[in-house]
């Protein structure tokens, strides 16, 4: 067999060229063609690799898309009462107010409900004082919240506009729980 690199003649069955050391391609002894055994072995490994990759890919796809365990919102992000894609969650965040005052507003609502449900005995100074103390606390927290909103959003109206835009975006682009 002749070396394809240096053209030196080598004995049949040799793995490397005796002149340059180049790795020789094995041929069968009869007509110099490349051995089919080696060629088929290469194809067998390629076929096994492809089958393995298809199986692994199928398992991955099934685990990602097919096994939501009854969860309709698999792969979605929870945003309040909505489920959104990552894109719509991020886009909604651009429309949201700069600061979330939900906790402060809820505390004010609770105080307001206490005020509304409070029974005042006008003949009792203690009853009137308790009511006035709660009313002062409510007004103080309201003024603080209003001041905080104005400092971060510009105005109460701007804050409310952002809340409406945020909620509208979620309703249009996301799924309600």
- Structural element, H or E, at residue 79: strand 77-79
**pLDDT score recorded for residue 67:** 45
Q: What are phi and psi of 80, to 5 degrees?
A: 60, -120
Residue 155 lies in a domain: yes
Residue 8 lies in a domain: no
* Segment 132-136 mean pLDDT: 93
Domain span at 158: 77-176
Predicted confidence (pLDDT) per residue in 73-115, tens digit? 557 888 888 888 888 888 888 888 888 888 999 999 999 999 8
Contact 83, 175 (CB under 8 A): yes
Residue 159 lies in a domain: yes
CB proximity list for 95: less than 8 A, separation 6 or greater: 162, 165, 166, 169
Residue 18 lies in a domain: no
Residue 56 lies in a domain: no
* Spatial separation of the C-alpha atoms in residues 27 and 18, rounded to whole Å: 17
Residue 93 lies in a domain: yes
Question: What's the pTM value of the predicted model, to 2 decimals?
Answer: 0.49
Among 4-8, 30-34, 58-62, 162-166, the least confident range: 30-34
Residue with the larger pLDDT of the pair 42 and 11: 11
Q: Which two tokens stand for residue 23?
A: 């790795």
Residue 37 lies in a domain: no
Q: Which residue bears the tokens 């309201």?
A: 142
């Amino acid at each position: 067999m002749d070396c394809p690199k240096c053209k030196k003649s080598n004995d049949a069955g040799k793995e490397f060229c005796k002149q340059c050391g180049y790795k020789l391609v094995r041929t069968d002894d009869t007509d110099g063609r490349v051995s089919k055994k080696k060629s088929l072995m290469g194809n067998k490994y390629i076929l096994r690799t492809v089958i393995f990759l298809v199986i692994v890919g199928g398992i991955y796809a099934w685990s990602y898309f097919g096994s939501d365990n009854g969860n309709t919102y698999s792969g979605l992000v929870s945003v309040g009462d909505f489920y959104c894609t990552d894109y719509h969650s991020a886009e909604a965040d651009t429309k949201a107010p700069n600061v979330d005052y939900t906790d402060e507003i809820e505390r004010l609502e609770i105080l307001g409900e206490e005020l509304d449900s409070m029974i005042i005995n006008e003949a009792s100074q203690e009853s009137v004082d308790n009511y006035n103390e709660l009313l002062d606390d409510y007004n103080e927290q309201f003024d603080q919240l209003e001041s905080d909103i104005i400092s971060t959003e510009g105005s109460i109206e701007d804050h409310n506009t952002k809340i409406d835009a945020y909620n509208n975006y979620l309703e249009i682009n996301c799924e309600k729980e």
